[in-house]
Amino acid sequence: MFFLIAIVANFGVKDEVLFKRLFDSKPYNAKLPIALPDSMDSVIKQSSDLPNDMKALYPLGYGVTR
């Protein structure tokens, strides 16, 4: 048996549009607009005046392209 689990974030899109896109056969393209740090220690050690200077679990621009 195979199970697929996904988390979908919805930021104000109408349900009809969201479900149409989720069940469509078109390829997905998605990129993170922010970097997600790997730990709180990484957040504390980063410099506020330097871009991309923390250890990121998922860096800026990480995503899916098909």
Residue 44 corresponds to which amino acid? I
Q: Which residues of 31-64 are buried (b: 16+ CB within 10 A; e: fewer)?
A: eeeebebeeeeeeeebeeeeeeebebeeeeeeee
- Quote the pLDDT of residue 66: 66
* Residue of higher predicted confidence among 55 and 65: 55
pLDDT tens, position by position, 1-60 = 788 888 888 888 899 988 898 888 888 788 888 889 999 999 899 888 888 888 999 998
- Quote the pLDDT of residue 32: 87
- Quote the pLDDT of residue 40: 93
- Quote the pLDDT of residue 14: 92
51/60 Cα distance (integer angstroms): 10
Answer whether 14's CB lies under 8 Å from 48's CB: no
- Pairing state between β 29-31 and 36-37: unpaired
